[in-house]
Amino acid sequence: MTQNPNVPLIHTVSVVTLSVDDLSVQYQSQGKKIHAVDHISFSFSEGESLGIAGESGCGKSTLGLAVMKTLQENASVSGKILFDDISILETSDSEFTKDIRWKQVSMIFQGAMNSLDPVFTIKKQFMEILQKHNFQGDHVQTIESAISSVGLSHSVLDKYPHEISGGMKQRVVIAMALILKPKMVIADEPTTALDVLVQAQIMILLKKLKKDGLSIILISHDLGIISEIAEKVGIMYAGQIVEFGNMEEIYKNPKHPYTVALLDSIPKLQETKKITPLKGNPPSLVNPPSGCRFYDRCPQAMEKCKQDPPKIKTASGFVMCWLHE
C-alpha cells in the first residue's frame, strides 16, 4: 500500500488482520431466540477490503455490530473475533473503547446521515468525538484535515445538519469515522437512501480512501458496489456465510446456488436477457431448519441437502454446499 502525500489522514501501513471464528449471535426477543449470525468463520488481511453481501434479515449488520461490540443488550455472542491478535470479545467494554473503538476500527452506520444531531453544528459534533476519546493534539486542525480528506470545504463545519445536502452529510459521517485514523472501517450500506449520482460519488470517495491504505468492510445488498471495493467477498444467507473467497472468483464462477441466483437476479444495464426469479423466501431465523437453509428455494436441492452442508474448500475460500463435496 502506498501512501498518498496529499492525504495525511491514514497513517497506517501496518498489516491489519481480522479473523472471525465460529461467531454466533442470538437475540432474545419475546421469549424467542433469533439466530441472527450462526457459526460464521472467515478471515482476511493485508490491507484487503471485504464485502459482505446478502439480503435484509440475513444477519449482515449484526455481524458488523458484533465486531464493533455495539450489539443491543438482548444479544448473546459466542465464538472468537481477533483483530490484530486482540480478542475483541474477551476485551472489556471500557478497554475496547479506550484502545480499539474508533482508534483501530470504526463504523459508518446505515442511514448515518440521519444520525447527526440537528441542534449542534458539525464542528461541535466532531469535537464531541475527540473529547470522548481524550484526544491529545490540535483539535481544530485534526477536524479540518478530516473534512478535507472527504472532499468537503471547511465552511461546512459551521453549518447545522439541515443546511447541507444528504451527500454532504454522508461525507461528514465518513469523516467522523476516520477522524481517529482507524486502520479499518465497517461501512454498513453507506450509499442507500442517497441519489444515484451521489451514491457513485461516495463510492469514488471510499475507493480513494482504500487506495490510501484503509481497510474497508462493506456491508451491502448491492453486488455492484461491492465489486468496486472488495477483494474478498462473503455471501450471507439466513445467518450463515454460504460462500467466501476472492471477489473475482465468486463473481466469475459462483459455486453456491444462492450466489448464482443472487448474481443472476440483478438486471444489468447492457443486457436484457430474461431472468428467472428465485422462488420463496428465506427461512425464519427463530428456529432455522436443520440441513441446508437454502433447501426450499434451491433449484438443485437433493436428498442429501437435508443434512447440514459441509464447508468445502475452494481455490480462495469456501462454499457450504453438498454439490461441491
Partner 1 sequence: MDEILSVKNLKKYFIKKGFTGSDKEVTRVADDISFSIKNAETFVLAGESGSGKTTIARLILRALEPDSGTISFDGQEITNQKDHLEKIRLGCQMVHQDPYASINPRMTILDIVKEPLEIHNVGNKQERNRLALQALSQVKLEPVEDIASKYPHMLSGGQRQRVAIARAIVTNPKLVIADEPVSMLDVSVRIGILELIKELQEKHGISFLYITHDLSTARYIGHRIAILYLGKIVETGPINEVLSSPHHPYTQALLDSISDPDPENLHKEKKIRVNEPLDIDVYQGCRFRARCPYAIDKCKQEPELEKVSEDSQVACFVKIN
CA distances from 24 to 45, 60, 122, 180, 199 (A): 21, 12, 37, 29, 32
The region of 15-23, 35-43, 91-99, 228-236 touching partner 1 under the rule CB under 8 A is 228-236
Closest CB to partner 1 among residues 137, 267: 267
CB of 281 to partner 1, least distance (A): 5
Q: Specify the DSSP class assigned to residue 101.
A: B
Strand partners, 66: none
Which of 45, 114, 281, 287 binds partner 1 (CB under 8 A)? It is 281
- Which grid coordinates are listed for 157? 463545519
Q: Does 226 bind partner 1 (CB under 8 A)?
A: yes
Which of 15, 140, 275, 302 binds partner 1 (CB under 8 A)? It is 275
Sequence letter at residue 93: D
Q: Does 204 bind partner 1 (CB under 8 A)?
A: yes
Which of 251, 283, 296, 311 binds partner 1 (CB under 8 A)? It is 251
Which of 139, 181, 207, 324 binds partner 1 (CB under 8 A)? It is 207
Could you tell me which residues come within 8 angstroms of residue 320 by beta carbon, excluding any fewer than 6 positions away? 240, 241, 242, 243, 256, 292, 309, 310, 311, 312
Q: Does 224 bind partner 1 (CB under 8 A)?
A: yes
Residue from 322, 237, 240, 244 nearest 282 by CA:
237
Q: Which residues bind partner 1 (CB under 8 A)?
A: 55-56, 195-197, 199-201, 203-204, 207, 221-231, 247-248, 251-252, 261-263, 265-270, 272, 275-279, 281
